[in-house]
Amino acid sequence: MSEVDYNPFSGRDFDDPATAHKRLRESCPAHRFNGAGFQFVSLARHNDVLGALKNIETFSSLWGQGPHRKPAIALFNDPPEHTRFRRLINTSFTPRAATALEPMITTLVDELVDEMLAVPSRSGDLHDALAMPLPVIVIARMLGVPEEMRDTFKEWSDSQLQGMNGTDPAREARARRALAEYMLAEADKRRAIAREGGEMPADIISDVVAASLDDERPISDAEMLSLLTQILVGGNETTTSLITNLLWRLLGDRRLWEQLVADPTLVDVAVEESLRFDPPVLGLYRTATCPVTMSGTEIEAEEKVHVLYASANRDPEVWDHPDEFRLDRDLNRLRQHLSFGFGTHVCPGAALARTEARIALHKLLAAAPTLCMAGEPERIETFLLWGKRTFPVTW
């Protein structure tokens, strides 16, 4: 069942995925794409998406969560290996851990927003001033990376994401080598501290290095690098996109923005509705371990399957008025969206992303109630993600 024309890599479907997903849900909910060097089946209806996320035996992550077929490692693996790596970072990404970071995040948001608002022209780029640096600095501090490395880390992260497009493999390879050299050097510093009986810094790199020194089942350098890379990439671009998507919708409809200025208790609802309406990750991939039929389409064993979170989040079988951004939705019901995945592979950084977006929005509402878009933001280039790489504003 692939009669519908759908190409997530370019054209109208790249620029307007929500309309494309609606077309799929209505006419071809399990669509086979064959082009641009890839073949995969896209699942568009909520029932199929949730079913695939629940059934990790049939829809495996062993061959990566991108369209390329390559062996997965660390967090992108299936249990029991996935569980082993998830355990290493769980304490750093719990809701309690995110709450503990709130004072640091609040101070950082205050600094970034105040610096932006101090510009005499009363204009700037919200992406560059707040949405991009905030999560990069937060995840860098959690990893134990010096703040002056933030621009370099951002470049490395962006290159990894571009690599999923397959458009610039040389750039991805250079970034991967540079990141590996840096992380291994940092790991060696911590190993030297441990050998001398000292106390390693309290950061995620140290936690992972400690696991590499476990005599019972140490993790390898390759596993360590994969885990740290996944934390770096997952910890910044998706949160940047959450913040830009959230502000894009609110500033695009002045009634919504004014409603929040008047009643900031709705901020949590706004963040969750943004996640449902404009998920930063449109969907990730699984690999079928056996033949399976979804919505009338026969999926072959070892075929890639694109699990479309964004489409599931707008399925009218599940959501009332799914194509409307509304602040009157029930918060607990909203949190059932699939933007962070579901089950075994649910995003470990969900609580942190929510916290950063919530604090950023509260600050902007209080400090810049006259904030306005000064032109249409530009979409980021990675087809898997949905967000903005520019965001011109005035105040």
What is the spatial distance between Cα 184 and Cα 191, in angstroms, rounded to a whole number?
10
Which distant-in-sequence residues (6+ apart) come within 8 Å of 72 by Cβ?
A: 61, 62, 63, 64, 65, 78
Domain segments of the chain: what residues? 11-132+236-394, 133-235
Enter the pTM of the model: 0.93
pLDDT of residue 167: 58
In whole angstroms, how far apart are CA 240 and each of 16, 220, 235, 278?
19, 31, 9, 13
> Is residue 230 pLDDT above 80, yes or no?
yes
- Is residue 90 classed as helix, strand or coil in its secondary structure? helix
Across-strand partners of 150? Answer: none
What is the spatial distance between Cα 312 and Cα 255, in angstroms, rounded to a whole number?
27
In whole angstroms, how far apart are CA 213 and each of 75, 145, 194, 195, 203?
19, 21, 9, 10, 16
In whole angstroms, how far apart are CA 155 and each of 136, 158, 164?
11, 5, 15
Average per-residue pLDDT for the chain: 91
In whole angstroms, how far apart are CA 133 and each of 73, 81, 121, 345, 373?
28, 32, 21, 26, 19
Strands 59-60 and 123-125, by their bridges, are unpaired
The answer to which of 81-90, 262-271, 308-317 has the lowest mean pLDDT is 81-90
Candidates 127, 98, 130; CA nearest to 115 is 130
Of residues 146 and 98, the one with the higher pLDDT is: 98
Rg (CA), the chain: 21
What is the spatial distance between Cα 217 and Cα 219, in angstroms, rounded to a whole number?
7
pLDDT of residue 257: 99
Of residues 220 and 350, the one with the higher pLDDT is: 350
> Is residue 79 pLDDT above 80, yes or no?
yes
> Is residue 76 pLDDT above 80, yes or no?
no
Name the architecture of domain 11-132+236-394: Orthogonal Bundle (1.10)
pLDDT of residue 171: 74
**DSSP state string for 331-342:** HHHHTT-STT--
- Tokens for 321, please give them: 């008025």
- Tokens for 325, please give them: 């951004």
What is the spatial distance between Cα 130 and Cα 112, in angstroms, rounded to a whole number?
6
57-96 burial code (b ≥16 CB/10 A, e <16): ebbbbbbbbbbeeeebbbbbbbeebbeebbebbeebbeee
Strands 292-294 and 297-299, by their bridges, are antiparallel
337-352 burial code (b ≥16 CB/10 A, e <16): bbbbbbeebebbbbbb
- Tokens for 26, please give them: 């209505």
Query: Interhelix angle for 221-234 vs 204-212, to 10°?
Result: 160
Does this chain's domain 11-132+236-394 share its CATH topology with 133-235?
yes
User: In percent, how much of the chain has pLDDT > 90?
Assistant: 68
Which superfamily does CATH assign the domain made up of 133-235 to?
A: Cytochrome P450 (1.10.630.10)
